[in-house]
Amino acid sequence: MTGAAVKGDPGAGATGVGSAGWVDALARKRRPGPSRGGHADAAPRRALHAATQAVHAGTFDDPATGAVGTPIYQTSTFILGEEQYRAVEEGYARDRFIYSRYGNPSQWAVQEKLAALEGAESALVFASGMAAISATALALLDKGAHIVASDELYGGTYNLFHHELPSLGFTVSYVSPRDPAAIQAALRPNTMLLYFEAMTNPLLKVVDIAAIAELARAHGARLVIDATFVTPLGCRPLELGADMVVHSCTKYLNGHSDLVAGVALGSRKLTDMVWPRLLAFGGCLDPHACFLLERGLKTLAVRMRAHQEGALAVARFLSTHPRVRQTLYPGLPSHPDYDLAQRTLRNTGGMVSFNVASDAQAIALLQRLQLMREATSLGGVETLVSLPFNTSHAAFTAEQRARLGIAPGCIRLSVGIEDPADLIADLDAALAALPDA
Ligand SMILES: *Cc1c(COP(=O)(O)O)cnc(C)c1O
């Protein structure tokens, strides 16, 4: 704890928007942080590339021993001194260590790394992607507000929007993320939030974030993008005009299928509005999970290269196979959003969807795969395979799935970082062993 940082450089008046005279009296300047000053701060002041930031941003060496890398601060609480009392009293508790639901050095380190990768001023980590999404949505909505959301949402988000938020008095309209006219038409005077996913599941539609951001700005509403499927290495929605970005860090960001976490990113001002909801709803991330997430993030750039390379090879193989009716991968020219993907994504990711003749054939195929693991979730080093009809979209009827464009026999692959030749051999053998439809 450096007392020297206090004078003239305090953080924000976290929750105290317009509430106390001291805010103006002290002429506080918001720090983007909070930060412990990672390796990237010590590096020359030129913009570092994403792969370098993935390794160094936020990460700091142990000041006590010189151990390389961020220590795990496995503590619930911190010694209180005059400085901590003042931080609470004056409203900048977010910038001091007081209690680990409020903040912890392990959280700060990984938040700074995530913020650097996303090009965000500030970040807050959460115990899950859903904790990040619910806290963010509730922070940006006033009583009675209306939301315009994608009609192709992650199931957990759909449940939040369809069941939880209406019970709190919010209303939600669902529109196609590909139809700007429908989005415009859905806006109401009380629309405060537009919520879309950068790439949809399982059809991997690419969303034109800049176009939607323009609609939001013109209406005075805020745009939140769930960028879980694309990662900051695919695109950075804040640069395209989004107000906040959320991720399930459970997926690519951690990348090893060994923790559940989430993050919300944006300006310091907006994350200061989310922070009180993190405190109130309690979805803080444990220091050990922060360590795992920070470690996972260090390899994000090399993993995403491998995911993209593997997914492209697998998609090319599937697209020529006689038993495969359709293959969807945004990096394949046959994908309806290929041009938009080329224009807006630096990495088209590791998700591939394809259709065989029927759901029965899809089940038969999964039973014949030897290497690929049958599991829900995505973004880990190992290839996972699942069927939307009995996982993510099990709550829908066959007709509803068809209306969304999910054909019978749809299979979703999260292509890992294995050698693509082994993945193709696994698929090839399983497809060859399929009974006739
Ligand atoms: C998994 C996922 C979530 C939810 O994240 P959790 O970490 O499981 O809470 C939200 N959005 C998308 C797009 C996801 O894939």
- 267-279 pLDDT, tens digit per residue, is 999 999 999 999 9
Cβ of residue 257 lying under 6 Å from some atom of ligand 1? no
Q: Which of 28, 178, 236, 251 is catalytic?
A: 251
- Convert the pLDDT of each residue in 318-375 to its tens digit: 999 999 999 999 999 999 999 999 999 999 999 999 999 999 999 999 999 999 999 9
pLDDT value at residue 43: 63
Helices 268-281, 129-139: crossing angle, 10 deg rounding: 110
Asked if 124 and 248 touch (Cβ cutoff 8 Å), the reply is no
What single-letter DSSP state applies at residue 199?
B
pLDDT value at residue 31: 58
Alpha helices in 220-299 (DSSP H): 231-234, 268-281, 287-297
Tell me the C-alpha distance between 137 and 157, whole Å. 10
Cβ of residue 226 lying under 6 Å from some atom of ligand 1? yes
Q: Which of 95, 226, 243, 272 is catalytic?
A: 226
Asked if 413 and 354 touch (Cβ cutoff 8 Å), the reply is yes
- Convert the pLDDT of each residue in 132-154 to its tens digit: 999 999 999 999 999 999 999 99
For residue 359, report the distance from its CA to the centre of ligand 1, in Å.
25
Tell me the C-alpha distance between 59 and 229, whole Å. 25
- Quick check: is 143 catalytic? no
Cβ of residue 196 lying under 6 Å from some atom of ligand 1? no
Please classify residue 47 by burial: count the beta carbons closer than 10 Å to its beta carbon, then call 0-12 exposed, 13-18 middle and 19+ buried: exposed
Pairing mode of beta strands 326-328, 351-355: antiparallel
HEC-encoded secondary structure of 233-247: HHCCHHHHCCCEEEE
List b or e across 215-224, with b for residues whose CB sees 16 or more CB atoms inside 10 angstroms.
bbeebebbbb
For residue 243, report the distance from its CA to the centre of ligand 1, in Å.
19
- Count other Cβ atoms within 10 Å, centred on residue 155: 16
pLDDT value at residue 436: 82
For residue 161, report the distance from its CA to the centre of ligand 1, in Å.
14
- Quick check: is 226 catalytic? yes
For residue 130, report the distance from its CA to the centre of ligand 1, in Å.
6
Mean pLDDT of the chain: 91
pLDDT value at residue 160: 97
List the chain residues with pLDDT less than 70. 1-33, 42-46
Ligand 1 atom at minimum distance from 262 CA: 7
Alpha helices in 209-255 (DSSP H): 209-219, 231-234
Hey, which of 125, 128, 130, 249 would you mutate to test ligand 1's pocket, going by the most ligand atoms within 8 Å of its Cβ? Answer: 130
Cβ of residue 129 lying under 6 Å from some atom of ligand 1? yes
For residue 248, report the distance from its CA to the centre of ligand 1, in Å.
5
- Block residue for tokens 């001023």: 121
pLDDT value at residue 42: 64
Supply 203's token pair: 């059809």
